[in-house]
């Protein structure tokens, strides 16, 4: 299977390239970047035959079967739609769009073309969250409350690697998207009640740097999410599952119980790397001709909930 990775030289583009190396039968034949000189040098270092600044050039190639989009959020929906219309399967990094209308259109085009289209909701695949999901689906426990902290120190326009970004990140449509989808995935319900509050808008970035979000499902499960780009400390997202049968804290691919006792995750998945696991699911879905876990259709309810939260934020 021949892959193109767009945004290959970015922080998450490189994570996907590293992950694809571990998957049998996969070859990266094309990469897309911001400038021709830099992406050609990057491709040469990685031993990748084709490099371009134009995604359409990669989509026209016969040696590209599927595309991973690690490009700026504002480009996701348009590029994912272009991939499918070109007959290419697509995995688009989270979020699949930064508004609900584009999310609906992306799902519509997937249904029209029949291509495999997946959103990068990696929390579904992190072994820590998989362990919790397996317990829930087995009937061993249910979530009473999910408390989540998503913290970064990002007062300048930089990416996860600390390098300058050409676009602006967003606490709601990117970072909250992870938790909103995870909460609805783990509970098996769509939030029936939502609220949101945000702090002052940054004068240069044009976004809120602090945000508080609350969700409630019809059965009564709660989610409380705190997000900040102002936190001067370890970056990342930390999840506390308060369940009817135990408390568990997930920190990316690690999991401990309420007393900080580690949970053995060795048998949960073939890898401890969430990015590799999501890429494996994408490849398997293409090979097996099926809908992947995390398809754009499955992730659409999260986008609908984000739209409801945005309306609350704008009204407040």
For 222-232, what is each residue's pLDDT tens digit? 999 999 999 99
Helix ranges (H only) for 114-171 are: 127-137
Q: Is pLDDT at 64 greater than 70 in this prediction?
A: yes
> Average pLDDT for residues 245-272, to the nearest whole number?
94
Q: Is pLDDT at 251 greater than 70 in this prediction?
A: yes
* Phi, psi angle pair for 183, to nearest 5°: -60, -45
> Average pLDDT for residues 113-131, to the nearest whole number?
97
3-state secondary structure of 58: helix
> Average pLDDT for residues 270-278, to the nearest whole number?
95
What are the extents of the domains in the chain?
Answer: 2-122+275-293, 123-270+301-315
CATH class of segment(s) 123-270+301-315: alpha beta
The CATH number fitting domain 2-122+275-293, selected from 3.40.1800.10, 3.40.50.920, 2.60.15.10, 3.40.50.720: 3.40.50.720
pLDDT tens for residues 181-220?
A: 999 999 999 999 999 999 999 888 888 999 999 999 999 9
Which pLDDT band, with edges at 50, 70 and 90, does 175 fall under? very high
pLDDT value of position 235: 80
Q: Is pLDDT at 302 greater than 80 in this prediction?
A: yes
First to last CA, the chain: 49
> Tokens for 204?
């240069």
pLDDT value of position 207: 87
Q: What is the CA radius of gyration of the chain?
A: 19
**Sequence-separated (6 or more) residues with CB below 8 Å from residue 71:** 6, 7, 10, 32, 79, 93
Question: In this structure, what is the dihedral angle of CA atoms 121, 189, 295, 265, given to the nearest 10 degrees?
Answer: 50
Q: Is pLDDT at 159 greater than 60 in this prediction?
A: no
Q: Is pLDDT at 300 greater than 80 in this prediction?
A: yes
Which pLDDT band, with edges at 50, 70 and 90, does 170 fall under? confident
pLDDT value of position 165: 60
Which among 160, 74, 84, 87 has a CA at the least distance from the CA of 118?
84
pLDDT value of position 89: 98
Evaluate whether 53 touches 39 at the Cβ level (below 8 Å).
yes
């Amino acid at each position: 299977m021949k892959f193109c990775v767009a945004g290959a030289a970015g922080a998450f583009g490189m994570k996907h390239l590293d992950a694809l190396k571990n998957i049998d039968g996969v070859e990266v034949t094309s990469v897309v970047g911001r400038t021709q000189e830099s992406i050609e040098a990057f491709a040469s270092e990685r031993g990748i035959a084709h490099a371009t600044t134009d995604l359409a050039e990669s989509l026209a190639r016969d040696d590209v079967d599927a595309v991973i989009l690690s490009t700026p959020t504002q480009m996701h929906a348009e590029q994912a739609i272009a991939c499918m219309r070109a007959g290419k399967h697509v995995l688009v990094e989270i979020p699949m769009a930064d508004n609900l209308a584009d999310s609906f259109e992306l799902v519509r085009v997937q249904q029209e073309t029949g291509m495999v289209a997946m959103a990068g909701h990696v929390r579904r695949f992190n072994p820590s969250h998989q362990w919790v999901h397996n317990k829930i689906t087995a009937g061993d426990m249910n979530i009473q409350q999910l408390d989540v902290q998503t913290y970064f120190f990002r007062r300048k326009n930089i990416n996860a690697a600390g390098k300058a970004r050409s676009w602006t990140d967003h606490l709601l449509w990117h970072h909250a998207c992870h938790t909103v989808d995870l909460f609805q995935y783990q509970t098996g319900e769509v939030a029936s009640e939502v609220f949101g509050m945000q702090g002052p808008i940054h004068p240069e970035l044009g976004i809120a740097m602090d945000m508080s979000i609350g969700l409630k499902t019809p059965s009564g499960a709660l989610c409380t999410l705190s997000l900040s780009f102002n936190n001067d400390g370890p970056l990342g997202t930390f999840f506390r599952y308060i369940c009817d049968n135990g408390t568990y804290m997930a920190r990316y691919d690690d999991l401990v119980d309420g007393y900080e006792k580690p949970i053995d995750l060795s048998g949960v998945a073939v890898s401890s790397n969430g990015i590799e696991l999501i890429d494996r699911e994408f490849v398997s879905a293409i090979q097996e001709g099926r809908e992947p876990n995390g398809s754009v259709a499955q992730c659409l309810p999260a986008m609908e909930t984000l739209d409801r939260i945005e309306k609350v934020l704008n009204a407040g």
